C-alpha cells in the first residue's frame, strides 16, 4: 500500500481524528492516533512545521514539557524492551512514535533519518521469532510513522533474498546492520551533497538562498571553509524568519550576506548568479516541494536565465505527482502580521508550494548531480 | 535645465549639505538647509516618511515638530518678490503642508493647489515677475519633498499648463493674471477629480466573479474597488502583505469595511495563488517615459509572474504622475531607502536591501488607467510629448 510519502500523513490523521469518530475495529490504529493529537497542542497547525519552527526558534521549556507530559502519559507502554506482537498494537504504536519524537527533537537530525533510526530500534527490541512476524511489526510501525524515509527503508530492509536461508537470529542482526547503515548513509548524505556542490560555486559569485535548509547551509559552509569568495542574498522568509537565521549562521562564517524582503527578489535578480534551495520533498516529475516562495523565486530566476539548484538527499524522493499548487496535502502555518486582522479577512496560510521541474536546473543529491528528468529514473531504481 | 525628475533631489541635496555648499552657486541652499532641519531623519526618504505617516498614525509630536520648524513664518498674504526668497519659500511649503495633512489628498494635488495660491496672493505687476515667482515656488516645493516623482512631475506639468496661453501677451496684466488663476484652479480640479475619472473608466474591466490581486496601498486603486463594490459587483481581492509597510493589512481593512471578500497573502505566496487570479491591479508612484512604472518594491516581481501566467496587469495612475524619466534598469533611479524592521536584531555584518521601490518595464504591463483615458504603455510617451511640449 503506497501512501503519499510526503511526510504529512500524521497531520492528515489528526485532521481526520479531529473531524470524525472512528470505528476502533476498522481502524486498529485509531487508539494510537487519538492519543497523538494530545501531543500536538494545536491540531490545526502542521506538526512538521511546528517542529521546524521549534528548530528555528527557541524550543521553549514549556513546549518540551508539554510534549513530554503528553508522551509521558503513556509511559507505561513507552520505550519498553518488551514488544508484544499481535493484539497490543497500542503500546507498540506509542513506543515507536515516542522514540521518533525523541529523535525528532534534535534540530540537526532530518525527520526521515529519525524515522529510520526509530524503526531500527523497533527491530532491536522486537520479540518476534520469525521473519514474517518481524516484517509485520516493522510494517505496523512504519504505517504509524509514514514519513518519506520509511518506505525506502522498508524496501531496502526487506529486499533480502538471502535472508530466507539463514536462521532467524542472524537474519535479524543482518537487518539491524542494514538499518543502521541506512541511517548512516542518510546522515552522511549532507556531506556528499556539500562536496558535489563545490564545483558550482565560483569565486566572486552571488548566490540567492530561500528558506533555511541544513543541506544548503552545509554546502555554503564547505565552500567558505575552502576559502571561496562569494556572497549570499537571503530572502527574509516570512513568516518563519528563515532568512534571519540563515544570515546569522553565514555571518558567523564571515560570508558577506545581504537580507532581502521577499518582494525584492526580482529587483535583485540581476546581480544573482545562481539560486540555491533545499527541498522538503522531491516528486516524481522532478519538481520539488519546498517552503512557500520557492516557486516564485524559481519563476523569476527562469525568466532571467539564472540557474536554480536544489540540494536534496535521496530519501526525500517521494512517489507523488502533484498536478498543480493545490494538489498537495495542506500544511498550514499561522502567520503573525503584528496587528490584528478583521475577522472577515481570510489569510493564505499554506506553508509550502510546488515548483515544477521546468524551472529547476540541477538537483544535488547523494546519488549524484541529477537533472530533473532523471529523478523519475532514480525513483524507479529505488522503489522497484 | 532638466535635472532628473526622479524626485529624490532633496535626498541628494541633503547628502550634499553635509559638505559645505557655495551659497551663490546654489541659491536654494539656505532654504534647503533650513528645510533639512524639518526632516527629522535625513537618511530616510521623505516621501516614504509621509506615506508611512499616512499609513500609520500621524503623531501629534511629528506634526508639532514639523510646525515648529516652519512655524516662525506665518502663511502671509503678501508675497514680496525678489530678495525674500526664504519667506516665500516657507510660505509655499507651509501652504503645501496644510494641504498635505489630509491623507486622502494626493501630494501632487496639494502642490498644485499651493502653487495656485501663490498666483492668487502674488504681488507681482508684470508677467515676468509672476512667472519667476511661480518658478521659485515650484522649485522650492520640488526640493522640499524630492522623493516623490508625482510631486515633481505635477509641479512641472502645472507650470506648463498654466503658462502655455498665447492670449496672455495681448491683455493687461490683471486679466492675464485672472486667466492664469482660472487655468491653475482648473488644473487643480482636474487633478483632484482624476481619481474619480479613473474609477469610472476601470469599471468595465471588473466583471462579476473575478479575482483581483492588489499590491501596495494606492488610493486610486482603493477608489476603483470602492466604486465597483458600490455598483454591487461581486468580486474578491487578494492582497499581498506588502512588507515592510504593511500596506496589505491596511488595504484589507478598508476592503473589509466595504464587504469585499479579501484574502491576505504573504509576499512569497503570489506565484502560488496566481492561478486563481484574473487580473493584477496596482497604483504607481510615477509613470516613466518608456511606459513603465515606478511603484512599491515587489511590483516588478508580481508583474513578471503575472506575465508568465498570462494574467493582465493594470495600472491606475493619474496623469500628473507622468515623468520625464527613463530608467535603464532597477538601479537607475535615485534611491529611496526605507528601514526595515525584522523584529529581531540583525548582526552588524549583514547588509539589508532597503530600497522602497522598483521599476516595472512596460512589457509586463497591459493597460494604464489614467484620467486621460485607458492607455497602452506605448502610448504613454506620446501623451508625455503632448503634455510637456
Phi, psi (rounded to 5 degrees) for A210:
-130, 135
Q: Report the chain B residue with the minimal C-alpha distance to residue A241.
A: B342
Whether residue A325 lies within 8 A of chain B, CB to CB, comes out as yes
Per DSSP bridges, beta strands A274-277 and A205-210 are parallel
Each residue's pLDDT, cut to its tens digit, for chain B (389 residues) gives: 333 333 344 445 545 554 433 333 333 333 333 343 345 554 556 666 655 555 444 444 444 555 555 543 333 333 333 334 444 444 777 777 777 777 777 778 888 888 888 888 888 788 788 888 888 888 888 887 767 788 888 888 888 777 776 555 666 778 878 888 887 888 778 777 888 999 999 999 999 999 999 999 988 999 999 999 999 999 999 999 988 888 888 899 999 999 999 999 999 999 999 999 999 999 999 999 899 999 999 999 999 999 999 999 999 999 888 888 899 989 888 788 888 888 788 888 888 988 888 999 999 999 999 988 999 999 888 887 777 66
What is the least distance, in Å, from the CA of A2 to any CA of chain B? 27
Residue of B nearest to A249 (CA): B347
- Chain B's closest residue to A347, CA to CA, is B264
Given CB atoms, is A339 within the 8 Å cutoff of chain B? yes
What's phi and psi for B265, nearest 5 deg?
-120, 145
Q: Is A348 near chain B, with CB under 8 Å?
A: yes
Alpha carbon of A232: minimum distance to chain B alpha carbons (Å): 10
Please state, in angstroms and rounded to a whole number, the distance separating the CA atoms of residues B297 and B356. 5
- Minimal CA–CA distance to B299: which of B278, B309, B284? B284
Tell me how many degrees the CA angle B120-B126-B128 measures, rounded to the nearest 5.
95
Residue B375 in grid coordinates: 492607455
Question: How much is the pLDDT for B153?
Answer: 84
A345, closest residue in chain B (CA to CA): B262
Which chain A residues are Cβ-neighbours of B262 within 8 angstroms? 344-346
Short-list A91, A181, A92, A80, CA closest to A136: A92
Mutation pick from B216, B229, B258, B272 vs chain A, by most beta carbons of A within 10 Å, is B272
**C-alpha distance from B221 to closest chain A C-alpha (Å):** 18
Instruction: State the pLDDT at residue A91.
Output: 44
pLDDT (tens digit, 9 = 90+) per residue, B212-225?
Answer: 999 999 889 999 99
Whole-number Å distance between alpha carbons of A99 and A76? 14
Among left, alpha and beta (phi > 0; psi -120 to 50; other), residue B203 is alpha
B3 near A CB under 8 A: no
State whether B264 and A295 contact (CB < 8 Å).
no
Please indicate whether, in this complex, the C-beta atoms of B272 and A344 are within 8 angstroms of each other: no
Quick check: A252 and B344 in contact, CB under 8 A?
no
What whole-number percentage of chain A has pLDDT above 90?
32
Tell me the whole-structure pTM to 2 decimals: 0.70
**How far is it, in rounded angstroms, from Cα B186 to Cα B188?**
5
Contacts of B289 (CB under 8 A, 6+ apart): B323, B324, B325, B326, B380, B381, B384
Interface contact flag, A350 B261, Cβ < 8 Å: no
| Beta-bridge mates of residue A355 | A288
Determine, for residues B352 and A258 on separate chains, whether the beta-carbon distance falls below 8 Å.
yes
- Residues of chain A with C-beta less than 8 angstroms from the C-beta of B308: 299, 303
pLDDT score, position B386: 75
Q: 3-class secondary structure for chain B?
A: CCCCCCCCHHHHHHHHHCCCCCCCCCCCHHHHHHHHHHCCCCCCCHHHHHHHHHHCCCCHHHHHHHHHHHCCCCCCCCCCCCCCHHHHHHHHHHHHHHHHCCCCCCHHHHHHHHHHHHHHCCCCCCHHHHHHHHHHHHHHHHHHCCCCHHHHHHHHHHHHHHHCCHHHHHCCHHHHHHHHHHHHHHHHHHHHHHHHHHHHHHHHHCCCCEEEEEECCCHHHHHHHHHHHHCCCCEEEEEECCCCCCHHHHHHHHHHHCCCCEEEECHHHHHHHHHHCCEEEECCCEECCCCCEEEECCHHHHHHHHHHCCCCEEEECCHHHECCCCCCCCCCCCCCECCCCCCCCCCCCCEECCECEEEECHHHCCEEEECCEEECHHHHHHHHHHHHC
**Least CB-CB distance to A347: which of B253, B264, B355?**
B264
- CB-CB contact of A48 with A7 (8 Å): yes
Interface touch A296/B270, C-beta < 8 Å: yes
* Peptide bond connecting B323 to the previous residue in cis, omega within 30 degrees of 0: no
B273 CB within 8 Å of a chain A CB: yes
Q: What is the pLDDT of residue B316?
A: 95
The more confident residue out of B196 and A49 is B196
- Contact flag A348-B273 (C-beta cutoff 8 Å): yes
CB-based contact, A270 to chain B, within 8 Å: yes
Whole-number pLDDT of residue A267: 94
Residue A81 has pLDDT above 70, yes or no: no
| Record: contact A236-B243, CB cut-off 8 A | yes
Sheet containing strand B293-296, edge to edge, reads B286-287, B293-296, B357-360
Task: Report how far residue A258's alpha carbon sits from residue A251's, in angstroms, rounded to the nearest whole number.
Answer: 10
**B300-337 burial, b for 16+ CB within 10 Å, e for fewer?**
bbbbbbbbeeebebbbbbbbbbbbbbebeebeebbbbb
How many CB pairs lie under 8 A apart between chains A and B?
Answer: 163
Cα A31 from Cα A15, distance rounded (Å)? 15
CA distance B95 to B84: 17
* Average per-residue pLDDT for chain A: 73
Mean pLDDT lowest for which of A53-62, A132-141, A313-322? Answer: A53-62
CB contact under 8 A, A258 and B351: yes
Residue whose C-alpha cell reads 525523541 in the numeric block: A102
Residues 6+ apart with CB under 8 A from B349: A251, A254, A256, A257
Q: How far is CA B183 from the centre of its chain?
A: 21
The neighbour count for residue B196, using CB atoms within 10 Å, is 13
A303 vs B: CB within 8 A? yes
Would you call A345 and B263 a contact, using CB atoms and an 8 Å cutoff? yes
Q: Are A267 and B330 in contact (CB under 8 A)?
A: yes
Question: Does the beta-carbon distance from B298 to A256 stay under 8 Å?
Answer: no
Distance from the B215 Cα atom to the nearest Cα atom in chain A, whole angstroms: 10
Q: Closest-CA residue in chain B for A210?
A: B268
Distance from CA of B276 to the nearest CA of A (A): 11
Q: Do B241 and A238 touch (CB under 8 A)?
A: yes
CB atoms A342 and B241 under 8 Å: no
Q: How far A261 CA sits from the closest chain B CA (Å)?
A: 7
Q: Which of A235, A299, A353 sits opposite B305 (nearest CB)?
A: A299
From B64, B63, B53, B159, select the one nearest B111 (Cα to Cα): B159
Q: Which member of A236, A292, A339 has the closest CB to residue B269?
A: A292
Non-local CB neighbours of A250 within 8 Å, separated by 6+ positions: A217, A220, A224, A232, A234, A257
**Distance (Å) from the alpha carbon of A241 to chain B's nearest alpha carbon:** 8
The answer to whether B284 touches B337, Cβ cutoff 8 Å, is no
The terminus-to-terminus CA distance of chain B in angstroms comes to 15
Looking at residue B176, what is its pLDDT?
79
- Residue written as cell 470524525? A20
Q: H/E element holding A115?
A: helix A111-124
- Nearest Cα of chain B lies from the Cα of A256 at a distance, in angstroms, of 7
Is the complex ipTM more than 0.85? Answer: no
Q: CA A235, CA B104: separation in Å to the nearest integer?
A: 34
Q: Does B341 contact A at CB distance below 8 Å? A: no
DSSP A36-89: HHHHSS-TTS-HHHHHHHHHHS---HHHHHHHHHHHHTTTTTTT-S----SS-H
Closest CA to B112 of B373, B333, B318, B325: B318
In this structure, are strands B286-287 and B293-296 parallel, antiparallel, or unpaired? antiparallel
Contact list, B273 vs chain A (CB under 8 Å): 325, 348
DSSP state of A144: H
- Establish if B200 touches chain A: CB-CB under 8 angstroms: no
Strands A352-355 and A288-291: antiparallel
**Is B261's CB within 8 Å of A346's CB?**
yes
Picking from B275, B300, B343, the nearest residue to A325 by CB comes out as B275
- The predicted structure's pLDDT at residue A361: 95
Gap between the Cα atoms of B88 and A320, Å rounded: 72
Averaged pLDDT, A346-354: 90
For residue A365, give the nearest of A312, A289, A303 by alpha carbon.
A312
Determine contact: B354 vs chain A, CB below 8 A.
no
- Chain-chain contact of B256 with A345 (C-beta, under 8 angstroms): yes
Q: Per this entry, what is the length of chain A?
A: 384
Q: Do A267 and B353 touch (CB under 8 A)?
A: yes
B347: distance to nearest CA of chain A, Å? Answer: 7
Cα–Cα distance between B98 and B101 in angstroms, integer?
A: 6
Instruction: List CB contacts of B15: < 8 A, sequence separation 6 or more.
Output: none
> Which chain B residues contact residue A324 at CB under 8 A?
275
Q: Touching check for A236 and chain B: CB below 8 Å?
A: yes
CA distance A107 to chain B (A): 21
Q: If you measure CA to CA, which chain B residue comes closest to A328? A: B272
Per-residue pLDDT at B5:
34
Q: What is the pLDDT of residues B96-153, one digit of tens each?
A: 777 777 777 777 888 888 888 888 888 878 878 888 888 888 888 888 776 778 888 8
Q: Do B272 and A353 touch (CB under 8 A)?
A: yes
Residues written for chain B: 389
State the pLDDT confidence band at A27, using cuts at 50, 70 and 90.
very low
Confidence at residue B74, expressed as pLDDT on a 0 to 100 scale: 37
Residue A50 CB contacts under 8 Å (≥ 6 apart), including other chains: A40, A42
Half-sphere exposure of A237 (CA within 13 A, CB side): 23
Using CA of residue A212, residue A216, residue A222, residue A228, what is the dihedral sign?
negative
Amino acid at each position: 500500500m503506497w501512501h503519499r510519502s510526503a511526510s504529512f500523513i500524521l497531520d492528515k490523521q489528526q485532521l481526520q481524528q479531529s473531524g470524525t469518530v472512528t470505528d476502533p475495529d476498522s481502524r486498529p490504529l485509531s487508539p494510537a492516533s487519538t492519543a497523538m493529537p494530545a501531543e500536538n497542542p494545536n491540531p490545526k497547525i502542521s506538526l512538521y512545521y511546528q517542529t521546524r519552527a521549534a528548530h528555528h526558534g527557541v524550543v521553549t521549556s514549556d513546549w518540551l514539557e508539554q510534549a513530554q507530559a503528553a508522551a509521558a502519559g503513556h509511559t507505561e507502554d513507552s520505550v519498553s524492551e518488551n514488544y508484544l506482537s499481535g493484539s497490543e498494537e497500542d503500546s507498540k504504536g506509542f513506543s515507536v512514535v515516542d522514540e521518533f519524537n525523541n529523535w525528532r527533537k534534535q534540530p540537526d537530525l532530518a525527520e526521515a533519518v529519525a524515522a529510520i533510526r526509530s524503526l531500527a530500534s523497533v527491530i532491536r527490541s522486537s520479540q518476534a521469532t520469525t521473519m514474517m512476524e518481524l516484517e509485520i511489526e516493522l510494517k505496523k510501525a512504519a504505517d504509524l510513522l509514514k514519513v518519506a524515509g520509511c518506505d525506502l527503508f522498508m524496501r531496502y530492509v526487506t529486499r533480502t533474498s538471502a535472508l530466507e536461508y539463514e536462521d532467524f537470529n542472524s537474519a535479524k542482526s543482518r537487518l539491524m546492520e542494514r538499518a543502521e547503515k541506512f541511517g548512516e548513509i542518510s546522515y552522511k548524505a549532507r556531506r556528499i551533497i556539500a562536496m558535489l556542490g563545490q564545483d558550482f560555486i565560483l569565486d566572486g559569485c552571488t548566490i540567492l538562498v530561500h528558506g533555511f535548509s541544513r543541506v544548503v547551509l552545509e554546502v555554503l559552509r564547505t565552500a567558505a571553509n575552502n576559502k571561496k569568495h562569494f556572497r549570499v542574498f537571503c530572502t527574509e522568509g516570512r513568516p518563519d524568519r528563515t532568512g534571519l537565521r540563515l544570515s546569522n549562521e553565514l555571518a558567523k562564517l564571515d560570508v558577506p550576506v545581504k537580507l532581502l524582503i521577499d518582494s525584492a527578489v526580482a529587483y535583485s535578480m540581476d546581480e544573482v548568479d545562481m539560486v540555491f534551495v533545499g527541498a522538503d520533498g522531491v516528486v516524481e516529475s522532478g519538481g520539488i516541494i519546498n517552503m512557500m516562495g520557492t516557486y516564485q523565486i524559481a519563476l523569476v530566476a527562469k525568466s532571467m536565465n539564472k540557474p536554480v539548484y536544489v540540494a536534496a538527499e535521496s530519501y526525500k524522493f517521494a512517489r507523488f505527482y502533484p498536478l498543480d499548487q493545490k494538489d498537495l496535502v495542506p500544511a498550514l502555518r499561522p502567520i503573525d502580521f503584528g496587528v490584528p486582522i478583521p475577522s472577515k479577512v481570510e489569510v493564505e496560510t499554506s506553508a509550502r508550494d510546488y515548483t515544477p521541474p521546468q524551472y529547476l536546473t540541477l538537483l544535488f543529491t547523494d546519488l549524484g548531480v541529477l537533472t530533473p528528468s532523471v529523478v523519475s529514473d532514480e525513483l524507479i531504481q529505488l522503489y522497484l
